[in-house]
Structure 1
Amino acid sequence: MLILALDTTTRPGSAALWHRDRLVEVREGDPDRTHAERLPADLVALLTTHAHTLADVDIFAVVSGPGGFTGLRVGIATIQGLALVGHRPVFAASTLLLLALAAKDKGIEASAGQEGKGEDTRGQHDSSECFVGAWMHAARREVFTALYKPVDEVQAPELAGLGAEDIIAARVGLVTLDDAAVDAPEAVAARWHARHPSARLSVMGDAVSDFADPLRARFGNAVSLCSPPPLAGVLARLAAALPDVTVSPHAIVPTYVRRPDAELARDRALSRPRSDREWVGG
């Protein structure tokens, strides 16, 4: 199975290629060029490097957001177009879920490393729950966030009634605690702490370096902050694990979290008193 994965939710973005049972390569994009300038050439170049063409791809995968509005739309449209032409299915997952999954995997690797060194990690966190969260730049001094609880297994009956994103999360051992949101970092940290005051957190995202203080102020040493890997690689691995969760290209639903500025401006204009609007004619 050949999977071509794309992330355009950040300025550089990334692309990844999965073949059979391994991640072949992950490439970060050039942040000095727009996604529209680089696509689909970046994807074709990645395939060509490994002696493949677009016709060889079995599953196309794309990060569905949130992220920069223009880049997100360009990425989704690119994958939709390629999948439609090739009559291939598409796998989509949100930026926030991928960050949480990467944070969860990093925590597992860290625990395995400690055990490999002969350190006894049992009982270290018995008195508190361990959660993973996403912490992503959203501009306007706000962050896109979500919080998840890692679990060993989710029984099939518990999946009934869940949306596609929550089903994907549950299938990889994550249960949503705090839905995708956009807010000031201080507000999110306060909300998380109010709901889970004794929790230990592993938080990942491109905003952890700029907006760490609110989390540290609330959780102290109980929060671990991690910079994210290129998300196309995380996406490709997830698509390979869940090939039965693909959809047709037209069924991809962008995860904006925040409404587009144009819609907000329109609503503000419509909410103004009738006398304050500009009218043409009588």
Structure 2
Amino acid sequence: MRLLAIETSTEACSVAVLVDGALSERFEVAPRRHAELVLPWAEALLSEAGLRRADLDAIAVTRGPGAFTGVRLGISIAQGIALALDRPLLPVSTLAVLAMGGLRGAPAGEFVLAAIDARMGEVYAGAFARDGEALRAVAPEAVAAPDAVALPHTGSWLGVGTGFAAEDGALVRRFGDRLATVDAAALPRAADLARLAARSLAEGGGMAPERVEPAYLRDHVALTLAEQAAARERRG
């Protein structure tokens, strides 16, 4: 299996190439430089692996949630490559990718709450459980204030993602000792995207590129200044 994975939905930018189980990745926290980095990194990784674009079996991309511009950019680039090559596109939840990274090296059977700072007093949150070498969602993904996020199961949870630093660590205070560990600096990585996408492709996943759409979770991708002020007033 030969797979190109693109992740641009947060302030980090990463690209990975998976070739028959061997992974290579470029990763950098590079706000506002995603468009500059993605294609050169992809070409460099393919060259290092001795591949051309035409040798790829599929393209993978995070579909969101995350920064609106970053999510749109990643999907647009991935769609363009997949359409040009007539290859399937594998969209994967950004929160699932984040959770996958959090579970690497963790004890078997762990639950993980992945959360990304969504600004305006909210977080994007998704709850997952380890399912063999893959993940299983145990609650719908949502955007909510930290005090509205719930853990659907008892037991020990891992916390991963910038959402745990949002609002002065409100999620950490909310769940207290239910969190075995917290990594509030973690960001999604293309290598974890590639792992999840490869499993999906092996199970028959993949979509026509033009059918892939972002998962913003918010109904409105932008708020007016008046709406932002009203939201702040509601939060007190």
Kept in 1: contact 2:5–2:191 (CA 8 A): yes
TM-score (normalizing by structure 2):
0.82
Q: CA deviation at 1:52?
A: 2.1
Determine whether 1:174 maps to 2:136: yes
Distance change >3 Å, CA 187–CA 36, structure 1 → 2: same
What amino acid is the match of 2:65? P
Q: CA deviation at 1:46?
A: 2.2
Kept in 1: contact 2:88–2:208 (CA 8 A): yes
Determine whether 1:85 maps to 2:41: no
Correspondence 1:133-144 to 2 at 5 A: 133-144=113-124
Distance change >3 Å, CA 33–CA 100, structure 1 → 2: closer
Kept in 2: contact 1:63–1:235 (CA 8 A): yes
Residue 54 of structure 1: aligned partner: 53
Residue 132 of structure 1: aligned partner: 112
Kept in 2: contact 1:103–1:133 (CA 8 A): no
**Which residue of the other structure, out of 198, 220, 224, is the alignment partner of 1:240?**
198
Distance change >3 Å, CA 42–CA 93, structure 1 → 2: same
Cα distance in 2 between the residues matched to 1:238 and 1:175 = 13
1:127-167 residue CA offsets vs partner (Å, 9 max, x unmatched): xx953111111122321101124456xxxxxxxxxxxxxxx
Kept in 2: contact 1:69–1:260 (CA 8 A): no
Residue 182 of structure 2: aligned partner: 225
Distance change >3 Å, CA 50–CA 181, structure 1 → 2: same
Kept in 1: contact 2:61–2:92 (CA 8 A): yes
Residue 233 of structure 2: aligned partner: none
SS at match of 1:207: helix
Residue 158 of structure 1: aligned partner: none
Amino-acid identity (%): 33
Residue 66 of structure 2: aligned partner: 67
Kept in 1: contact 2:10–2:187 (CA 8 A): no
- Which stretches in structure 1 are left out of the alignment for 5+ residues? 112-128, 153-170, 269-282
What is the number of equivalent residue pairs in this alignment?
221
Residue 21 of structure 2: aligned partner: 21
The structure that has the greater radius of gyration is: 1
**Which residue of the other structure, out of 129, 146, 150, is the alignment partner of 1:185?**
146
Kept in 1: contact 2:15–2:42 (CA 8 A): yes
Residue 6 of structure 2: aligned partner: 6
Kept in 1: contact 2:162–2:187 (CA 8 A): no
SS at match of 1:245: coil
Cα distance in 2 between the residues matched to 1:249 and 1:68 = 21
Q: CA deviation at 1:35?
A: 2.1
- Which stretches in structure 2 are left out of the alignment for 5+ residues? 228-236
Q: CA deviation at 1:258?
A: 1.2
Distance change >3 Å, CA 213–CA 37, structure 1 → 2: closer
RMSD: 2.5
Kept in 1: contact 2:164–2:170 (CA 8 A): no
The more displaced of 49-58 and 29-38 is 29-38
Q: CA deviation at 1:65?
A: 0.5
TM-score (normalizing by structure 1):
0.69
Distance change >3 Å, CA 140–CA 246, structure 1 → 2: same
Distance change >3 Å, CA 214–CA 80, structure 1 → 2: same
Cα distance in 2 between the residues matched to 1:57 and 1:241 = 16
> More strand per residue: 1 or 2?
2
